[in-house]
Amino acid sequence: MNSFIKRRQFIAGSTVAMLLLTAPERAMAFSVENAKKLIGRVVADINSIINSGKTEAAMLRDFEQIFVNYADVKWVSQLVLGADGRSASAAQKAAFAKAFQGYISRKYGKRFREFIGGSVSVKKAKAIKSFYEVTTIAVLKGEAPFEVVFVVADKNGRFIDMKIEGISLVKAERTEIGAMLDKRRGDLDQMIADVKKAG
Amino acid sequence: MFRSDNFFGIVIVFALLAACAGPDVASGIYDPLETRNREIHEGNRKLDKHLVGPAADIYGTGIPEPVRVGVNHFASNLGEPGTVVNDILQFKLGSALHNTARFILNSTVGVGGIFDPATNMGLESRPSDFGETLHVWGLKEGAYRELPLLGPSTTRDTVGMAVDFFLDPVGLIIQTPERYVTTLASGASRIGDRYRFDDTVDSILYDSADSYAQARLLYLENRRFQLGQGHNEIDDELYDIYEEFDE
């Protein structure tokens, strides 16, 4: 069996939830160094939370706080909506962004306990077209170290995806949201209503 | 040394290799067999729900963790010689030495492979398989396939798995009844993995809106990452949408 089902990918997926929505201060001319610094701050926040010794519920709140403070929900939710998002009205887009924020924090937040006692560190960063890929290594208890790549947009210096051993959170969630939409015969409003309850 | 089933193995390999042809789909999903794949997926899901999942619960709760870890080490140590063969076939001589050293260390100091002292000594696990060898040789991924019992794969990886099975040095050397032990160990190891990654498997198989599509995506993305096909154009297109957004 291949390792695609490995827990660690999901573990890292949990971080994604909060992290990819992290949006730091704006910077017009972003650079590899800035991208690296940005993810360095994100990773430092994660590390302090997962080693804080707080209860799971408290850690969840802390993670949600990162999420709330730096959230770039609008952009990421648009990426997740993909082609379907283009037909959505402004109101629907906003409603989805809100629903998605709650959904993703519930879905991945549940798994943060698997991070306890671990650490994440930034390894390298490189520019690709109008993006930066910042590679980090996560070392969790009882697991072989694994790679988590953050995708940072040059446009505004926010990060817009996270790939755990090659698995893109945006793509995974786009598949999920797309499937939900199909099941509801393309009814955006119904999908949004259900996303609010899912996760 | 050369058993008759090797012959059939080789026939299968060539038949499947011919099927590896097809568009270059390094960056997308090529799934012409989707209808059949989905039927198999449903079968796998039922099997997991009624048999594999419950068996994993019994195994995971009944057997202490250190024992389960030992079983996993033992099973993966037995795969090490096969990995070395693939390293050589891929001209990765450094990895071949690395994995040979792992096998020797873990088989001796690691008490027949039950422990993994090699990793602690800086010789981390560096797995490979014939699917990767085919990739290195330039074969395309082929179509996505979901296999009964074995789960997500591609044409290339299915061929690889068959070759690994028939050409496994340990399998060729070890005869029955010792063979049952190795088969049992690898079976137990997989059941153990099902238990270990229970939350993940459940979330894919039972909590997602389309478990087939989700499993397919995760498999393909992770496999391409393993094979170093990492960066792909689809990702760029994905993020290009970002450029179109208004403030």
How many residues comprise chain B? 247
Q: Does some domain include residue B35?
A: no
Could you tell me the two tokens for A24? 């730091």
Same domain? For B220 and B127 the reply is: no
Q: Please report which residue ranges of chain A form alpha helices under DSSP H.
A: 7-19, 32-50, 56-70, 73-81, 90-109, 169-183, 188-197
| Contact: B222, A3; criterion CB under 8 Å | yes
Give yes or no: residues B4 and B122 share one domain.
yes
Stated as kind and residue range, the H or E segment containing A85 is none
Q: Are B19 and B155 in contact (CB under 8 A)?
A: yes
Q: Is B218 in CB contact (< 8 Å) with chain A?
A: yes
User: Tokens 């590390």 identify what position?
Assistant: A47
- Nearest 5°: the CA angle A69, A74, A78 is 145
Same domain, residue pair B127 and B184: yes
**Residue whose C-alpha is closest to residue A125's, from A44, A15, A47, A39:** A39
Q: Is residue B74 part of a domain?
A: yes
pLDDT digits (tens, 9 = 90+) for B41-78: 999 999 999 999 999 999 999 999 999 999 999 999 99
Q: Which amino acid does the sequence have at B195?
A: Y
| Residue of A163 and B154 predicted with greater confidence | B154
Cα distance between residue B77 and residue B169, in whole Å: 12
Q: Tell me whether residue A145 is exposed, middle or buried, using C-beta atoms within 10 angstroms of its C-beta: 0 to 12, 13 to 18, 19 or more.
A: middle
Q: Which residue reads 């798994």 in tokens?
A: A111
Q: Is residue B49 part of a domain?
A: no
B42 in a structural domain: no
If asked whether residues B207 and B107 sit together in one domain, one would say no
Per CB-CB distance under 8 Å, the chain A contacts of B242 are 75, 78-79, 153, 155, 160
Question: Higher model confidence: residue B31 or residue A20?
Answer: B31
- Best of A1, A3, A4, A194 to disrupt the B interface (most B CBs within 10 Å) is A4
Residue B197 contacts A, CB cutoff 8 Å: yes
B107 plus B165 within the same structural domain: yes
Helix axes A56-70, A90-109, angle to 10 degrees: 150
Domain that holds residue B214: 197-247
Ramachandran angles phi, psi of A138, nearest 5°:
-105, 130
Q: Are B2 and B117 members of one domain?
A: yes
B111-125 pLDDT per residue, tens: 999 999 999 999 999
Is residue B25 in some structural domain? no
Angle at A178 between CA A64 and CA A98, to 5 degrees: 30
Tell me A150's DSSP state.
Answer: E
| Chain A contact probe: residue of B190, B225, B231 with most A CBs at under 10 A | B225
Reported as a single tens digit per residue, the pLDDT across B196-226 is 888 889 989 999 999 999 999 999 999 999 9
Q: Nearest by CB to B200, which of A1, A5, A161?
A: A5
* In-domain check, residue B46: no
Which residue among B166, B188, B210 closes a domain? B188
Q: Determine, yes or no, domain membership for B21.
A: no
Q: Is residue B89 part of a domain?
A: yes
At residue B77, the pLDDT reads 96
**Does B201 lie in the same domain as B123?**
no
Residues B145 and B182 in one domain: yes
Same domain, B107 and B181: yes
Residues 151-170 in B contacting A (C-alpha not used; CB under 8 Å): 151-152, 157
- B158 and B213 both lie in a single domain: no
| CA–CA–CA angle B86, B87, B91 (5° rounding) | 115
Residues B90, B176 within the same domain = yes
Any idea what DSSP says for residue B21? -
| ipTM of predicted assembly, 2 dp | 0.82
Number of domains in chain B: 2
- A75:B242 CB<8 A: yes
Q: Is A147 helix (H, G, I), strand (E, B) or coil?
A: strand
The one-digit pLDDT tens for each residue of chain A (199 residues) are 444 445 555 555 545 444 444 444 444 457 888 888 888 888 888 888 888 888 877 777 777 676 666 657 778 888 898 777 778 999 999 999 889 888 887 787 766 667 777 888 999 999 888 888 999 998 887 778 889 898 888 877 778 888 889 998 889 999 999 999 999 999 999 999 999 988 7
| Judgement on whether residues B153 and B178 belong to the same structural domain of the protein | yes
